Amino acid sequence: MEEPNFFDKVYQVVRLIPAGRVTSYGAIAAYLGTKGSARMVGYAMLASSKAYPPVPAHRVVNRSGLLTAKFHFGGNLMQELLQSEGITVIDDQIKDFKTHYWDPAQELL
DNA sequence: CCCGTGACGACAT
DNA sequence: TATGTCGCCACGG
């Protein structure tokens, strides 16, 4: 057992995202206290592929609701995963993003 | 120990 | 309103 690094904290929060919901990197970063380092969240997600248990990174998008990560998932995999959970994705962008938005600071309050 | 990297975000023009 | 540029901070080499 290693101490929870910033990366591990990110993984934990992402794993708490309920199916059919999405959040933004900045929201997670802010929840962890590193508000200005949304990039770090994305950087952590990079390694999330090797994290265990697996992290539902497909539920994390940028602040515009754009599937920026789909490029890393490979093809339209991310988009299909979101649609599979009931989220409508149009042009690599989540429809009604704010409606499906899940803010850790709000739900985990 | 120093430098580069990176799935973003906000501000300036 | 749209596009471009800068800053941010943790991790790996």
**So what's the pLDDT on residue A27?**
95
CA of A44 to C1' of B3 (A): 19
**So what's the pLDDT on residue A19?**
96
- Structure tokens that stand for A47 in this block: 């390694």
Backbone angles phi, psi at A94, to 5 degrees: -75, 130
CA of A61 to C1' of C11 (A): 22
Residue A30: band (very low, low, confident or very high) from pLDDT cuts 50, 70, 90: very high
CATH 3.40.640.10 fits A6-100, yes or no: no
**So what's the pLDDT on residue A33?**
85
Q: Where are the domains of chain A?
A: 6-100
Strand C contacted by A43 CB (< 7 A): yes
**So what's the pLDDT on residue A74?**
85
Give A44-61 as a DSSP string.
Answer: HHHHHTT-SS---GGGEE
Query: What pLDDT, in 10s, does the model give residues A31-70?
Result: 998 888 899 999 999 999 889 899 999 999 999 999 999 9
Give A63-79 as a DSSP string.
Answer: TT-B-TTHHHH-TTHHH
Strand C bases contacted by the protein (CB, 7 Å): 7-11
Query: What pLDDT, in 10s, does the model give residues A88-99?
Result: 999 899 999 999
User: In this structure, are residues A58 and A75 in contact, taking their beta carbons and an 8 Å threshold?
Assistant: no
CA of A92 to C1' of B6 (A): 21
Residue A104: band (very low, low, confident or very high) from pLDDT cuts 50, 70, 90: very high
Using DSSP bridges, classify how beta strands A23-24 and A60-61 pair: parallel, antiparallel or unpaired. Answer: parallel
pTM over 0.95, yes/no: no
Strand B bases contacted by the protein (CB, 7 Å): 5-10
